[in-house]
Amino acid sequence: MSSREQQLNEALEAMHFGFRAMVDKPDQRLAELSFSRIHHRIMYFIGRNQNCSVSELLKILGVTKQYLNRPLKTLISKGYIDQQADEKDRRIKRLALTGLGDKLEVELTGTQRRRFAEIFDQVGTEAELHWREVMDKLAGKIRF
């Protein structure tokens, strides 16, 4: 194995273990509620895009309607997300976090924000900017 291949393997492993560390506590809390990461992602992106349509959420998440359907219905039925018909076009469903949904989303994502804040404080602004640049390039055209 070449030195470069080894470095790239180490980068892949760092990404894997870093991601696992970032989702560990939220995953534990989600499991207590019989939820999974998709439930968290749904609440996170609705929280950042209050009153988005189901179609807009599908585009943001990059998933199919079939994939989104069950977890979204669960979040609605358990009172974490409110779904209302659009005022102008009743066929469009608008999504918003309820108070309960907002509280859970802040709890889950707050853990991750605090972790990022601690690490970014440790490594400094320049390292944070480089990390963001790498993540932006990895995301490429995927970003909404």
- Report the percent of the chain where pLDDT is more than 70: 97
Q: Where are the domains of the chain?
A: 3-142
Span 80-124, pLDDT tens digits: 999 999 899 999 999 999 999 999 999 999 999 999 999 999 999
Mean confidence (pLDDT) of the chain:
95
Span 47-63, pLDDT tens digits: 999 999 999 999 999 99
The answer to whether 95 and 83 have CB atoms below 8 angstroms apart is yes
CATH 1.10.10.10 fits 3-142, yes or no: yes
Q: Is residue 79 scored above 60 in pLDDT?
A: yes
pLDDT at residue 122 in the model: 98
Q: Is residue 131 scored above 90 in pLDDT?
A: yes
Q: Where residue 43 falls among pLDDT bands split at 50, 70, 90? A: very high
Whole-number Å distance between alpha carbons of 63 and 77: 21
Residue among 22, 41, 62, 86 at smallest CA distance from 144 = 62
pLDDT at residue 140 in the model: 85
Is 6 exposed, middle or buried (CB count within 10 Å of its CB: 0-12, 13-18, 19+)? exposed
Q: Is residue 144 scored above 60 in pLDDT?
A: no
